Amino acid sequence: MAQSAIDLSGLPTIANPGRVAILKSKWYPELNDSLADTCAGVLREKGFDRVETHTLPGSLELPLAAADLLAADSDREIDAIVCFGVIVKGETLHFEMITNECMRGLGDVMREYRCPIIVEILPVLDISHAQARAADDEYNKGYEAAAAAIEMIAWRRALQA
C-alpha cells in the first residue's frame, strides 16, 4: 500500500498553546527519535514552545508514563500527549501482548484524564515497514502525529468556547 504525505498548510492556529508531551520507547532509537523530532519540529513551527520529550524503557510503559504526567498536571497545562514506539513481530506472542496492552492502556488513560493521546506506535511485521514510516521524508508519521495533536487541541478548545 502506498503511503501518502499529510498537508500541514490547513492546520488551525492555537492561541496560547499549552504543553505537549512526547513519549517514546527507547527500543529502535533511530526510528523513534526521527518520529519524535519530526513531531516536535512541527509543533514548534505551529507555536508550541513547551514541547517536552520523555524516553521510556519500552512501549508497554507508555500508558503509565502518560497517566503519571497527567496526574501530576494539576493546572491542566498539558494539551496533548503523543506516543511513539516500534514493536516488531517476532516468534512469540510478545508482539500481540505488548501491542494490545499498550493500546488499551493509552485509551484508558485518555478517557480517564480527558486529554488527547495521539498514538503512533508502529506494530510491524518487518522492521523495513517502520523504517519507511520514520524516514527523513514527507511520509514520516511524526507529521501526522503533530497534525492530529493540533487538530484535537483546536477541536476541544472550540467545544469549551
Place of cell 501518502: 4
CA angle in degrees (0–180, nearest 5) for 107-50-121: 30
Q: What is the largest CA-CA distance in the chain?
A: 51
Catalytic pick from 94, 100, 101, 112?
A: 94
Place of cell 487538530: 151
Name the H helices within 84-124: 94-113
Catalytic: 94? yes
Distance, in Å, from the CA atom of 64 to the CA atom of 87, rounded to the nearest integer, reads 18
The grid coordinates listed for 142 are 511524526
Q: Which residues are catalytic?
A: 94
